[in-house]
Amino acid sequence: MTNPIADPGHGHSPAAWTAVVIMLVGVAAATVAFCFEQPVLVMISLVLVPIGAIAGWVLARAGYGVKGPKYAPKAH
């Protein structure tokens, strides 16, 4: 029973980080706009959420995802 558990990567890749940062900026900007009662800015900011998801998907397809050819994990 020497079957080591494979490391799934846990999303530590440029694609994942880029997607999360874009979506986080969008939600943060929407929150600030909501506090200042700017509904147009809320909607514009929330558009960044699907853009972040698409950017992450595109980067993963381009090889920057976990176990992608352009991604080199760093040792801890």
pLDDT tens by residue, the chain, 76 residues: 555 666 665 778 999 999 999 999 999 999 999 999 999 999 999 999 999 999 999 999 999 998 888 887 776 6
pTM: 0.82
> What is the C-alpha separation between 34 and 60, in angstroms, rounded?
32
The span from the first CA to the last CA of the chain, in angstroms, equals 26
pLDDT value for 71: 82
pLDDT value for 75: 66
Give strand ranges (E) for 6-74. none
pLDDT value for 18: 97
Short-list 13, 12, 24, CA closest to 51: 24
